[in-house]
Structure 1
């Protein structure tokens, strides 16, 4: 859909050839080759080489290709290797906070302006430094990493899918995404991969909070994320109809008006319709 960010972001351990082969057929809008948490320390060099090879061999027209790099100096080496391919769409920085590591990564990405940067917010410091980090050059997505965040906050693991204990952090992530004009806030993974209905329920709630896509750790979650975070055809048709009516009213010199359902149409309603449809503002 025009102007729509990826609905699903599928994590793929880069050291697992079987998963790499299957990933392009998963239906995910974006793949995240994982060099960090999913890869044992002894396998990280091989995982980097596999990610580079995957990028070099990727077919045109497939899903977006992102890589979650490691922290620190190893992560900068990961970034240099992937950027040299000229075939990646973006890099995810784990445990992102303000500081020298972020400065160094931004400097590397600045040399490849076609490559985007995503920040994984996985600590209390990461959440509280969003005002400093979300607006940095090249940053296009924020993703909340709740597994690590819970550990950092000394909270119990998410034993009940869909709990609301981290809504404050979710709200801050969404708010900074909007305030800094980023492409989207990516909802956190669910470790309950064997329960697609619970994933659907929590995804619907996260969409209601303002997230525009979701990270997935299993292909079975991808179809659910695509459905929940996609644009409903009826909703899209209604948005086009509202914009048609709005443009007609503007041409007629009218300001505020009611839609076909009797609800008042304001600037925020029109802006949301433009985001859904990708239509330019011809009345400007």
Structure 2
């Protein structure tokens, strides 16, 4: 499953579902949590179920974000999803592999889970546990909004939009936790959806650092994110050249390519890049 861009859509706005499909997002996340006020959650559940059940042409993967596993709302969410043909469930405020296992126990089926893995202080200390449920994960993502609120911090960001030190740490731990589990690392949202230049720079940094996709909160963000997480023709050509060089020199530990030394980590990166493009 290719997951460069994952677009949130409020579950109580079904008129937006077809428009979201048309954005080119790799996945839609139909939301039953934060974007839906409590009194509209029953309406949202009904709308999400009806849309997923209706016949439609092939399109993006479909995920549903439920409410936290320890909330009063999650039982009704899971009842609404029972038996549906969807690709996965986004679990907010996940606290490590145990939270994922609890969700899977309550929602029978072959669904994948995308945990939002850093939204509580306790969750930060569980970011290395996801290998235990890796076979049921679509990836691991993080959030920089709920965590500062939960500890009374004023913000997670500096005036220039960059993260303050505590949240740089959380981002890095999420990145390494996902890769330790062998699943995609999904970058968090960029809230300033009107600033596409800043989004492009943010997404490019995520791709540089090892994230393989990113959450989107507005349709205009999708194409920018897709571009950032799609390897360029030059990158693909270089990766093929690295692999070809080692294929032509079996047993070599290090080689020269275009005047630079390449070794085993370069070969691993090249194979990973080509796997991303299929």
With normalisation by structure 2, the TM-score equals 0.89
Alignment of 1:189-208 (within 5 A): 189-208=189-208
What per-residue deviation string (whole Å, max 9, x for no partner) do you get for residues 164-203 of structure 1? 3121111100111111111x11111121111111111222
Partner of 1:215: 215
**Residue ranges of structure 2 left out of the alignment (5+ in a row):** none
Partner of 2:180: 179
CA distance in 2, matches of 1:140, 1:37: 21
Q: Which sits farther off after the overlay, 93-102 or 193-202?
A: 93-102
Partner of 2:252: 255
Partner of 1:282: none
What per-residue deviation string (whole Å, max 9, x for no partner) do you get for residues 129-152 of structure 1? 223345325123111111111212
Q: Is the 8 A contact 1:76 1:105 kept in 2?
A: no
Cα distance change of structure 1 residues 231 and 98 upon mapping to structure 2, 3 Å threshold? closer
Q: Which sits farther off after the overlay, 217-226 or 132-141?
A: 132-141
Q: Is the 8 A contact 1:242 1:259 kept in 2?
A: no
CA distance in 1, matches of 2:224, 2:29: 18
What per-residue deviation string (whole Å, max 9, x for no partner) do you get for residues 242-270 of structure 1? 212211111xxx41232422322222211
Q: Is the 8 A contact 2:130 2:177 kept in 1?
A: no
Partner of 2:81: 82
Partner of 2:239: 239
Q: Which sits farther off after the overlay, 185-194 or 156-165?
A: 156-165
Q: Is the 8 A contact 1:161 1:199 kept in 2?
A: no
Q: Is the 8 A contact 2:239 2:273 kept in 1?
A: yes
Partner of 1:164: 163
- Out of 93, 115, 126, the position equivalent to 1:119 is 115
Cα distance change of structure 1 residues 161 and 185 upon mapping to structure 2, 3 Å threshold? farther
Q: Secondary structure at the match of 1:130?
A: coil
- Out of 32, 37, 40, the position equivalent to 2:34 is 37
CA distance in 1, matches of 2:124, 2:55: 34
CA distance in 1, matches of 2:105, 2:170: 28
With normalisation by structure 1, the TM-score equals 0.87
Q: Secondary structure at the match of 2:162?
A: coil
CA distance in 1, matches of 2:131, 2:160: 28
**Residue ranges of structure 1 left out of the alignment (5+ in a row):** 280-284
Alignment of 1:132-151 (within 5 A): 132-133=129-130, 135-136=132-133, 138-151=136-149
Q: Is the 8 A contact 2:66 2:92 kept in 1?
A: yes
Q: Is the 8 A contact 1:162 1:198 kept in 2?
A: no
- Out of 37, 49, 59, the position equivalent to 1:62 is 59
Say what the alpha-carbon RMSD is for the aligned residues.
2.2
Q: Secondary structure at the match of 1:43?
A: helix
CA distance in 2, matches of 1:60, 1:262: 49
Q: Is the 8 A contact 1:8 1:226 kept in 2?
A: yes
Give 1:98 shift: 4.5
CA distance in 1, matches of 2:7, 2:171: 20
Alignment coverage as a number of residue pairs: 269
